[in-house]
Structure 1
Amino acid sequence: MKSYTFLMILFSVFFVHAQEVAVLKYKGGGDWYSNPTALPNLVKFCNDNIDTNINERTQTVEVGSIDIYQFPFLHMTGHGNVFFSEDDADNLRKYLLSGGFLHIDDNYGMEPYITKELKKVFPNKELIEMPSNHPIFNVAYEFPNGLPKIHEHDGKAPKAMGLFHEGRLILLFTFESDLGDGWEDQEVHNDPENVREKALRMGANIIKYAFEN
């Protein structure tokens, strides 16, 4: 209990400083480092368009490190396996319950692994599909149909799933959408500008919602 109180105090101290975001590094062999230009591009888009003041030098932080408390917003992505140790799961749970926010964007193939590992973090919580009228879909830009489709893989509809604690959205898992690919430099995937704009706008909604709630 004392360690949890200490982490809450630590998080509140870091939170009053400049807005910061980071990529979450995890074990298991999955490519946590995929889409290297995605988060920096999203940060720049947010600073230019929705009046955020986020440090544009995005950093990487390990899931089991106390350093995650420096960042009110964490972004996680990849294609493959994810593994959380008990210490990793415990650290991430405390971070999220202390006021942090995690966005997990499946870069294709991550879903079966991350859903299993999230049960280590919150054994008694279930991912809930986000309704299209949730504020995260209209806090800065309007998405009346919910999560947009950016890249096609299996012909399935995009889904946004959330974990909640005491009514607060603490974790957003997006899959069959590939938002991060849409945030990357244009030449990486050669997406049309309107597709990249759609992805960046949805990302800006996630950032804005995370910082304001």
Structure 2
Amino acid sequence: MHFIRQVFPDKPLLDIADDDIIYQLPYRFPEGAPAFWHHGGRRALGIKHEGRWMAFYHPGDMNDAWKSQGYTDVTSEMREAATSLGVNLVYYAFNHWDDAVTKAKK
């Protein structure tokens, strides 16, 4: 989280609501971000700029859930949820990138 604050020093970290579009497409997470790890919880935070998410922080360490081959306490459900949420983040970025570029050209 320290790195996010360095990159966006003037922007507050915001709670990402459970009904945010990030949790809707293409995979649905009706209760928001799932918990991936015992140490982190599930409340994701983000930084918005002009109505668009610019940074996403999940305290549950999605990266470890993705590379779970060496981690014995990662369940297949955890791995699938982490992968699906990662897909949602990429989907969001690709689908909102054009909005940002169009706005910048005006």
What is the TM-score with the length of structure 1 in the denominator?
Answer: 0.41
Greater relative contact order (CA < 8 Å, ≥ 6 in sequence): 2
* 1:170 and 2:54 correspond: yes
Query: In the alignment, what sits opposite 1:204?
Result: 87
Which of residues 70, 75, 97 is equivalent to 1:192? 75
1:136 alignment partner AA: I
- CA deviations on 1:152-199 (whole Å, 9 max, x unpaired) are 02xx63221111111111111111x22111111x42113222221111
Closer, same or farther: CA 163–188 of 1 in aligned 2, 3 Å: same
- Note the residue ranges of structure 1 that are not aligned, 5 or more in a row: 1-110
Query: In the alignment, what sits opposite 1:60?
Result: none
Equivalent-residue separation in structure 2 for 1:161 and 1:180 (angstroms): 16
Query: In the alignment, what sits opposite 2:41?
Result: 157
**1:88-107 matched pairs, under 5 angstroms:** none
Which structure dedicates a bigger proportion of its chain to strand? 1
Query: In the alignment, what sits opposite 1:48?
Result: none
- CA deviations on 1:70-127 (whole Å, 9 max, x unpaired) are xxxxxxxxxxxxxxxxxxxxxxxxxxxxxxxxxxxxxxxxx4xx1xx54443332101
- CA deviations on 1:38-65 (whole Å, 9 max, x unpaired) are xxxxxxxxxxxxxxxxxxxxxxxxxxxx
8 Å Cα contact 2:4/2:55 also seen in 1: no
Alpha-carbon RMSD: 1.7
Aligned length: 95
8 Å Cα contact 1:149/1:178 also seen in 2: no
1:133 alignment partner AA: D
2:10 alignment partner AA: N
- Note the residue ranges of structure 2 that are not aligned, 5 or more in a row: 97-106
Equivalent-residue separation in structure 1 for 2:42 and 2:80 (angstroms): 17
Equivalent-residue separation in structure 2 for 1:123 and 1:152 (angstroms): 29
Query: After TM superposition, where is structure 1 displaced by more than 4 Å over at least 4 residues in a row?
Result: none
What is the TM-score with the length of structure 2 in the denominator?
Answer: 0.79
